[in-house]
Amino acid sequence: MRRFSLAFMATTLGAVVFASLVIGCGGKKDDDDDGPAPPKKKRGGGTAAAAETLKPVQGKYEGTITGKVTFEGDPASVEELTAALQKEISAKPDDHSYCMKGRLPSDPADFKSSIQPYETVEQEYRIGKNKGLGNVFVWIEPEAGYHFEVPPDQLSAIDKEVVLTQPHCSFLPHCAVVFPSYYKGGDQVKTGQSLFVENDARVSHNAKVSGGPLNGESNQTLEPKKGNAEPKRVAIIFKPEKREITVSCDIHKWMKAYVRAFDHPYATVTSVGGDPKKKVWENLDSDVVGTYAIKGVPVGAKVKLFVWHEKAGFLNQGGASGEAITLGKDNKKDFAASKK
């Protein structure tokens, strides 16, 4: 009798479990069971419902925004930053002599040689003789509920690589923008552009990336360049992020670069007078230091303009909320910064 009771209970329990599995794995749900299913997530990090509500920004994408960021104050006041930097370099005795190869040459006639004076001076305030401030990020964003509709000719013109090099013990360029994806049909589509960090130095470096919630953190070691071999490099594919992303080196802790990632190409960095494609990193004697140009923006569109420097912060009206402007064909916006 006991064996019969146990067998009956096991059979009954098995039937209940089986029925539960059938209902949970595709059986018909009651209308008021758990409410509607959550919306499907899109690749851009939002949801299908949220992405589909975005509307393209209308207008002819043929406008320009130009201007200059001027530094107010005495540029000599940043000299203590250089002293602090060189103290940090001195604290790394094993690599000190190599890191200091970027020093200012004792012979002024040697200024244009392979020795680069800006690698062992402060990186935070790059100020030209024209008082222009370099390495300031400038960009626009559409109004809430909209996305930029990037024209095909602008997409085909983008470079597939944005490169940060480490010739001695600094990242060059110090600031860069990347355009990894854009909106198309309510979804994020990859542009194919990536950031590459390469080590063309004779000492080891690493690339530590610290981003926001979408990009997270990563850290990859880069071995030193040997002989005439190609420099070691790593590819970092970003997602568009509202905050700045830092790239640093744990081996040489003073080394840092800033990157901003966008879902459109309407962003830039004010000039330091160089030409990264030719590996001419800086010329503070140039008249273009502190200037910028953003091309191909939508004429007639209402947008938010942002101007941000790593130390001076937001320079535009409205701060982190952006400065509301309506774009014409030719837009000129100048800004001022001071040491903080």
Query: What residues pair up with 207 in beta bridges, in sequence order?
Result: 220
- Which range, of 74-88, 97-111, 131-145, averages the lowest pLDDT? 97-111
The residue count for the chain: 340
Q: Which CATH class is domain 52-337?
A: mainly beta
Q: What is the mean pLDDT of residues 228-237?
A: 87
pLDDT at 17: 37
Q: Which of 163, 245, 255, 161 is closest to 204 using CA atoms? A: 255
* 247 and 209 Cβ atoms separated by less than 8 Å: yes
Mean pLDDT (whole number) for 155-181? 94
Q: Is the pLDDT of residue 230 over 60?
A: yes
Indicate if the pLDDT at residue 45 is higher than 80: no
Question: Does the structure show a pLDDT above 50 at 9?
Answer: no
pLDDT at residue 3 greater than cutoff 50: no
Residue 50 pLDDT greater than 70, yes or no:
no
- Chain-wide mean pLDDT for the chain? 82
Average of per-residue pLDDT across 286-303: 97
DSSP readout, 134-195?
-S-EEEEEEPTTEE----HHHHHTS-SEEEEE-SSSS-BSSEEEE--EEEETTEEEE---EE
Average pLDDT rounded to a whole number, residues 123-132:
93
| Strand 175-178, strand 256-261: pairing | parallel
**Of 16-20, 69-73, 294-298, 307-311, which range is least confident?**
16-20
Which of 29-38, 52-61, 99-108 is most confident?
52-61
Segment 167-176 mean pLDDT: 93
Report the percent of the chain where pLDDT is more than 70.
79
* Lowest mean pLDDT, pick from 15-29, 138-152, 266-280: 15-29
Q: What is the pLDDT of residue 76?
A: 65
Higher pLDDT, 276 or 247: 247
Reply yes or no on whether the pLDDT at 326 is more than 90: yes
- Least confident range from 78-92, 127-141, 269-283, 299-313: namely 78-92
For residue 232, pLDDT over 70 is answered with: yes
Model confidence band, residue 65 (pLDDT cutoffs 50, 70, 90): very high
In angstroms, the CA 209 to CA 219 distance is: 6
Report how far residue 91's alpha carbon sits from residue 102's, in angstroms, rounded to the nearest whole number.
16
pLDDT at residue 129 is higher than 80: yes
Position 134, amino acid: G
Mean pLDDT (whole number) for 151-174: 94
**Half-sphere exposure of residue 102: CA atoms within 13 angstroms, side-chain side:** 24
Tell me the two tokens of residue 299. Answer: 């004429």
pLDDT for the residue numbered 90? 85
The answer to whether the CB of 229 falls within 8 A of the CB of 215 is: no
d(CA 323, CA 300): 16
Least-confidence region, from 7-16, 41-50, 77-86, 300-309 = 41-50
This prediction has a pTM of 0.80
Please report the pLDDT score of residue 114 as a whole number: 46
| Residue 52: predicted pLDDT | 54
Cis peptide bond upstream of 38, omega within 30: no
* Mean pLDDT on 138-155: 96
Q: Please answer whether residues 86 and 170 qualify as being in contact, where contact means their C-beta atoms are separated by less than 8 angstroms.
A: no
Please state, in angstroms and rounded to a whole number, the distance separating the CA atoms of residues 164 and 256.
Answer: 11
**In this model, does residue 143 exceed pLDDT 80?**
yes
Identify whether the C-beta of residue 334 lies closer than 8 Å to the C-beta of residue 68.
yes
